[in-house]
Chain A
Amino acid sequence: MLKEPLQNFLVRPEEIKTRQGLPTGYSELDQFLLWQGLPKGAVSLFVGQPGHGATSLWGQTALSLTQQEKWAAWVNGPAQTLCPWDWWQKKMNFAKLVVVSAPDNRRKLLWALHELLALSLFDLIGCDLGDTQLSDVDVLKLTRHTRRMQSALVLMSANPFVRRSSFYSCILNFSQRQLKIERAQHRLTPHTLPRSNNYADFVPQLTQNRKALSC
């Protein structure tokens, strides 16, 4: 007799399925992660020097997203800007990508992120931190905001010793040969995956023997 009143309070087993993430297109990573891609409604951290594949991974996810007519946003870092030609050649739909120029200080960066999230329009937001350090409180506020708006926020930092706050739900570390997953929910971490440098496809000489190119 206790069963019926108690029933509507307990969570039914089929409801405990995992939240669906954003597929990144890198098959080993998608299979390994709980959310089959980048977690929606959570903040992830990519650590890696520019040129080690961090931006391309975010770009691939954004590519598939915009092709499904969903919105994505990118906030530029202080030192480097995003160059659209690589993605234009891969037919990204720029109508669904909003780019914001580099905010000059941490406070304005956070204000910009909160404004982007407040719109509840974007599914994926990328942000190049450069060398700014975010405190735990900032990350906590960001996580709460992304959970309410159900959009995925990805922060990229070039500084290998960036503070790994506990509120990041997924941390990836990019190096020359491999991709190390330092934190992922319900997964045995750290876990390393081999990484292919995807700039090889358009500079054919790089793939063939180098001799052919040295003209």
Chain B
Amino acid sequence: MRTLCLNLHKTEKHSVAENFLPFSPRVQFRDPGFIFADISGTTHLFGNEATLLSEALQVAREFYPEATAAIADTPAPAQVFSAFHHTTIVPPTQERDDLRNLPLEALLHLEGLITWHSSREIEDIISFFHVLGMKTVGELDRFQMESLRERWGDTGATLWKRLHGIEKQVISPLLPSESLTDYIYFDFPVMLLPFLLHCVEKSLRQLQRRLQGRAEFVRKVQIHLYCEYSSKCHVVELMPATPSRDLDLLMKLLENKLTEVDFDNPIREVEIEILPCPERVQQLDFWETRNRDRDKLDQLVSLFNQASLTTGFLRPRHDILPEESWELTAEFEEFSPQEDAVEVDGQSFRVKPSYSQHLVHAPRPTRLLKKPRRVSASELRQMHFLSSHPIERLEDSWWEDSRGRDYYFALSPQGQCLWLFFDRLENEYYLHGYFD
């Protein structure tokens, strides 16, 4: 029996095994990314084992660049050699001698179709033998199965059987059952056609590789493009005239269909499904009306945002400067003022004071100027200040630039109650808001 072992060095789904059906009907996938094929009957199709190995590697490396492979008699040693000597072919019945001069760490890879119960147990065994001064796998031959079984139970026994190649591992034939679908999620919504085509093409090629493995033709391709800002979804159907596996034809059809679709609402997700058989067509209805307030608002907010109008709910913030002390947020959040943090331990406590928590209750004008307006000296003379000392002195983020402001109340000649501040950096008076 001759086994080909491929290590993709990447965790993959079971369906990947279909790519390798052309090499042998008996293919088995074992996670995290191993493929075992029984090639004893099919080597003659490819001439000799070397060409078979190189072709299998070439197929694997199309999508998994660091894939490695090896051919040996039984699956377990094949896996060891794929880990240690990349693309090697072990001549028949010479497996055990090559295995003998590998270092002890090779035991970790000696799994084949059935993985070790727990890798920690194997690591303990390896370190134990290191303590006893043994370096290579060959030195373990001197022990009988009983002494290994006594010390490490079944793991010891299976280890001994695998070392002596007695364990029977049969690779069962693969019956393709999974559907030919693929799903792409873009990190940022896509508006450009060429980029969209490139992504779709990559996954189409993988599906085409599986079709090849399953020896089937494409009858119909259905592609759903989900938009980002609304639940709109473009459905594109490609029907090649005659069922075929030609990738370029499919791409050309796709490009024509997509040019008419307008992309002002960017695409976030794409779903591709290849129907090798004609009868199953899926129908989605997306036009039923929505009636709840929440959705009305979402629609309004997204509509206004698109027209560059920031909309949302008022959410106050803990900040010392008034103009930064609130913001508009799409989602409503309750605002709770910052109290002193009290840590309780049993019935004793410790108070961690927050010194400016009273700012929440300080008087603020109803209308705030977006950009404080400088007040000229003549205007100042007409105004009547209510206090010679500032009502509030606010200093912010000294670690960036210290902006010290003294806030005063003043009555304007027209009877408006104004909120002025004196900027201590430029010592100028500014009007900041009206008390309505």
Answer whether A and B touch in the complex at a CB cut-off of 8 Å: yes
- A203 touches B (CB below 8 Å): yes
CB 8 Å contact bits of A109-123 with B (1 = contact, 0 = none): 001100110010100
Tell which of A88-96, A165-173, A182-190 binds the partner: A88-96
Interface residues of A in 157-197 (CB under 8 A from B): 176-177, 197
Number of B interface residues, CB 8 Å?
47
Residue from the set A55, A79, A83, A97 with the largest chain B CB neighbour count within 10 Å: A83
- A210 touches B (CB below 8 Å): yes
What A residues does B360 contact at CB under 8 A?
Answer: 85, 88-89
User: B309 contacts A49, CB within 8 Å?
Assistant: no
User: A55 contacts B366, CB within 8 Å?
Assistant: yes
Q: Assuming the A-B contacts A81-B370, A83-B433, are A52 and B309 also in contact, with contact meaning beta carbons closer than 8 angstroms in the complex?
A: no
Tell which of A7-15, A25-33, A99-107 binds the partner: A99-107
What B residues does A86 contact at CB under 8 A?
Answer: 363-366
What A residues does B332 contact at CB under 8 A?
Answer: 94-95
User: B386 contacts A213, CB within 8 Å?
Assistant: yes
| Chain A contact patch, size range | 35 or more
User: B311 contacts A83, CB within 8 Å?
Assistant: no
Q: Assuming the A-B contacts A51-B412, A89-B361, are A101 and B310 also in contact, with contact meaning beta carbons closer than 8 angstroms in the complex?
A: yes
Q: Assuming the A-B contacts A83-B322, A121-B293, are A51 and B313 also in contact, with contact meaning beta carbons closer than 8 angstroms in the complex?
A: no
The CA-CA distance from A60 to B127 in the complex, in Å, is 79
User: A203 contacts B313, CB within 8 Å?
Assistant: no
Q: Assuming the A-B contacts A108-B309, A121-B296, are A176 and B436 also in contact, with contact meaning beta carbons closer than 8 angstroms in the complex?
A: no
The CA-CA distance from A178 to B300 in the complex, in Å, is 38
Determine the residue in chain A with the shortest Cβ distance to B417: A199
- B226 touches A (CB below 8 Å): no
- B394 touches A (CB below 8 Å): no
A-B contact pairs, 23 of them (CB 8 A): A49-B414, A50-B434, A51-B417, A51-B434, A51-B435, A55-B366, A71-B293, A80-B368, A81-B368, A83-B322, A83-B366, A84-B316, A85-B316, A85-B364, A86-B363, A89-B361, A94-B314, A94-B315, A99-B311, A101-B310, A115-B304, A199-B436, A213-B386
